A and B are shown apart, each in its own frame.
Chain A
Amino acid sequence: QKEVEQNSGPLSVPEGAIASLNCTYSDRGSQSFFWYRQYSGKSPELIMSIYSNGDKEDGRFTAQLNKASQYVSLLIRDSQPSDSATYLCAVTNYGGSQGNLIFGKGTKLSVKP
């Protein structure tokens, strides 16, 4: 059973701090990695995608990938109360006739003013 593991949280950080969200995955053959943000009662929306080892930065967000350790993380700099949401890690699964995504259960982030 291919799995994606995340700490469920809640992760609480003060406004302006760096929030660090972590994810591990079991399928060493995975090639594509995604972070989605989901506000309460809303649908998931893409924050970052990463395909190669190393860091990828987009504004206040940095995704980090280490395929050897099967680990992907998301850093949020200068956290804002509006960043309070559940963050979902998703990893490509190539089982079945087409590649699909396997989602972690999500980490709930709370940014305190």
Chain B
Amino acid sequence: DAGITQSPRHKVTETGTPVTLRCHQTENHRYMYWYRQDPGHGLRLIHYSYGVKDTDKGEVSDGYSVSRSKTEDFLLTLESATSSQTSVYFCATGTSGGADTQYFGPGTRLTVL
């Protein structure tokens, strides 16, 4: 395992509230990713980071922001949660970008009421 933890593992929140999910890795991997997984859509990339303070948008970035101030931590923020953001969120890490294996964290189940 790549030593990836996510917190919280489960969260229920209300529409309009901000939510921050945390991903922490102990493998010193350069790349970190946030995905969401929904039935019928599979895994979709939200944002990714290729170094400290270096981030870029993925396929479904609207309504989300990220920050990476340390190699080991990658934060995903839902600025104003909506019901459409109810999903399972996975963090992943890798050493060499898209050509490299990605290692996934255990996931966070988020419910927005």
Residues of A within 8 A of B (CB): 31-32, 34, 42-46, 49, 88, 92-94, 96-106
Residues of B within 8 A of A (CB): 31, 33, 40-45, 48, 50, 56-58, 90, 97-107
CA distance A105 to B56 in the complex (A): 23
A-B contact count (CB 8 A): 59
- Provide the residues of chain B in CB contact with A97, threshold 8 Å: 50, 56
When the two chains form their complex, are residues B43 and A44 in contact, meaning their CB atoms are under 8 A apart? yes
Top 10 A-B pairs ranked by shortest CB distance? Answer: A99-B98, A105-B42, A43-B104, A103-B43, A92-B98, A32-B99, A99-B97, A100-B98, A98-B97, A97-B56
CA distance A44 to B2 in the complex (A): 13
CA distance A35 to B44 in the complex (A): 16
